[in-house]
């Protein structure tokens, strides 16, 4: 039998192969495939440990040519290692062979930023000019980078963070990266100015209040990722057009989970899953003054679409393949 090798793709190779604009495009196509019912995405599986957990996320999008399984941990307070690390196994649907294993730490951040951007593309006003990032960590930076792809008219960004120094640093970096007006702000001052608000904090109780929200605003709620966590006052959800990525994940641990478990909103109060909006089954923004909220929990199809792109780019020809490390795990020869 021929030599069958599995490519090993490290974080730097993934970064080289996948721009933020690529990720936005791939995630939009993933949402479309999911919305059209062409994608397979079994529920996430969880293993729980004393200090963290591991999530196992399989997905298959036929037109993308590969199936993927992402393993991603969450260990808050990991000493010497990132809290979140991820790998993706890329499998050939034709044979079941494992084509590649790639680091997915950057990819996970990129596809999460991309989801917010795709939501903004369909839900934020075209003329959106001011963005406010609530939380000024790494994911705020990625969310902004993706947002700039779909709303290049943004001319000002505000960063709000419990650590004002961190907000200031993020603002300086954004100014340098995009040449736009950029400053740190309190939530009270920053959010009401914004056309697009992105929440990327680890808080458990709402920090964005209904009084901060203005007509026409779009909010990407990214941070809530577990039962009991929320970043927005539930009244905001009740007054808004709410779009989620997936009902099971969102109602279990997304921004809407507290409001759903408290009976404040039901499935009927949710306007759509993002796949339905991207495929045109349901409308996105319909009026300039409506408030829209996207609750992102992160779908395995986003990982699949981005990993497919990375794999195909990095193995497109023999020169590209020669650059990659590889291992023959089966040893059939």
Query: Is 67 a binder of a second copy (CB under 8 A)?
Result: yes
Closest CA to 54 of 94, 20, 84, 29: 84
For a second copy, the closer of residues 51 and 287 by Cβ is 51
Per CB under 8 A, does 217 bind a second copy?
no
**Which tokens in the block code for residue 64?**
């993308």
Contact flag: residue 333 with a second copy (CB under 8 A): no
Q: CA nearest 206: which of 167, 246, 237?
A: 237
CA 146 to chain centre: 10
Nearer Cβ to a second copy, position 12 or 316?
12
Count of beta carbons in the 10 Å neighbourhood of residue 118: 31
Nearer to a second copy, 159 or 311 (CB): 311
Residue 215 engages a second copy in binding (rule: CB under 8 A): no
CA atoms of 313 and 307, how far apart (whole Å): 10
* CA angle, 101 then 105 then 107, to 5°: 80
- Residue 196, φ and ψ in degrees, nearest 5: -130, 120
CA distance 182 to 170: 9
User: Smallest distance from the beta carbon of 112 to a second copy, in angstroms?
Assistant: 17
Number of residues engaging a second copy in binding (CB under 8 A): 57
Residue reference for tokens 């709620």: 221
| Residue where the block lists tokens 């003329």 | 127
Q: Could you say which of 3, 36, 45, 316 contacts a second copy (CB under 8 A)?
A: 45
**Inter-CA distances, 44 with 249, 250, 260, 299, Å:** 9, 12, 20, 9
74 sits near a second copy (criterion: CB under 8 A): yes
Question: Which span sits near a second copy by CB under 8 A: 71-79, 160-168, 175-183, 199-207?
Answer: 71-79
Q: Which of 3, 49, 288, 316 binds a second copy (CB under 8 A)?
A: 49
CB 308 within 8 A of CB 64: yes
Q: Min. distance of Cβ 147 from a second copy in angstroms?
A: 27
Neighbours of 316 (CB within 10 A): 11
In the list 19, 21, 78, 181, the residue contacting a second copy (rule: CB under 8 A) is: 78
Restricted to residues 11-30, the positions that interact with a second copy (CB under 8 A) are: 11-12
CB of 237 to a second copy, least distance (A): 30
Cα separation of 68 and 93, whole Å? 10
Cβ count within 10 A of residue 324: 16
Stretch that binds a second copy, among 64-72, 199-207, 280-288, 305-313 (CB under 8 A): 64-72
Place of tokens 């640093």: 169
Q: What tokens were used for 117?
A: 């951007």
Rounded alpha-carbon distances, angstroms, from residue 73 to 76, 128, 130, 278: 10, 35, 34, 29
Out of 44, 70, 121, 241, the active site residue is 70
70 assigned to active site: yes
Q: Does 156 bind a second copy (CB under 8 A)?
A: no
Does 193 engage in binding with a second copy (CB under 8 A)? Answer: no
x-or-dash string of contact with a second copy, 84-123, rule CB under 8 A: xx-x-x-x-xxxxxx--xxx-x------------------
- Least Å distance, CB 86 to a second copy, is 9
37 binds a second copy (CB under 8 A): no
When the beta carbons of 40 and 193 are compared against a second copy, the nearer one is 40
CB of 329 to a second copy, least distance (A): 4
Using CA atoms, how far apart are residues 255 and 249, in angstroms rounded to an integer? 10
Residues of this chain that interact with a second copy (CB under 8 A) are: 1-2, 4, 8-12, 40, 42-43, 45-54, 56, 58-60, 67, 69, 71, 73-75, 78, 80-82, 84-85, 87, 89, 91, 93-98, 101-103, 105, 325, 327-332
Catalytic residue numbers?
A: 70
């Amino acid at each position: 039998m021929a030599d069958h090798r599995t490519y090993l793709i490290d974080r730097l190779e993934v970064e080289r192969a996948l721009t933020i604009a690529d990720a936005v495009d791939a995630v939009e196509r993933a949402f479309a495939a999911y919305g059209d019912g062409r994608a397979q995405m079994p529920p996430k599986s969880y293993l729980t440990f004393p200090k963290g957990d591991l999530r196992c996320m399989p997905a298959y999008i036929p037109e993308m040519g590969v199936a993927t399984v992402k393993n991603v941990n969450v260990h808050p307070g990991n000493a010497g290692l990132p809290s979140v690390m991820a790998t993706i196994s890329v499998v050939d649907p034709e044979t079941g062979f494992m084509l590649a294993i790639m680091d997915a730490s950057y990819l996970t951040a990129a596809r999460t930023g991309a989801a917010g951007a795709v939501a903004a593309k369909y839900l934020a006003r075209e003329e959106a000019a001011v963005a406010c990032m609530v939380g000024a960590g790494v994911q705020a930076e990625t969310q902004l980078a993706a947002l700039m792809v779909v709303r290049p008219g943004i001319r000002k960004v505000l960063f709000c963070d419990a650590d004002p120094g961190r907000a200031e640093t993020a603002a300086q970096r954004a100014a340098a990266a995009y040449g736009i007006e950029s400053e740190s702000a309190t939530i009270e001052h920053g959010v009401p100015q914004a056309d697009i608000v992105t929440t990327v904090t680890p808080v458990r109780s709402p920090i964005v209040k209904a009084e901060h929200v203005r007509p026409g605003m779009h909010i990407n709620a990214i941070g809530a990722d577990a039962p009991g966590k929320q970043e927005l006052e539930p009244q905001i959800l009740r007054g808004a057009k709410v779009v989620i990525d997936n009902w099971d994940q969102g109602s279990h641990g997304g921004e809407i989970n507290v409001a759903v478990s408290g009976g404040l909103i039901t499935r009927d109060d949710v306007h759509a899953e993002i796949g339905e909006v991207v495929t045109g089954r349901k409308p996105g923004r319909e009026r300039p003054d409506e408030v829209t909220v996207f609750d992102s929990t992160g779908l395995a199809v986003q990982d699949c679409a981005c990993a497919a792109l990375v794999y195909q780019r990095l193995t497109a020809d023999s020169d590209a393949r020669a650059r990659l490390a590889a291992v023959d795990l089966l040893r059939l020869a």
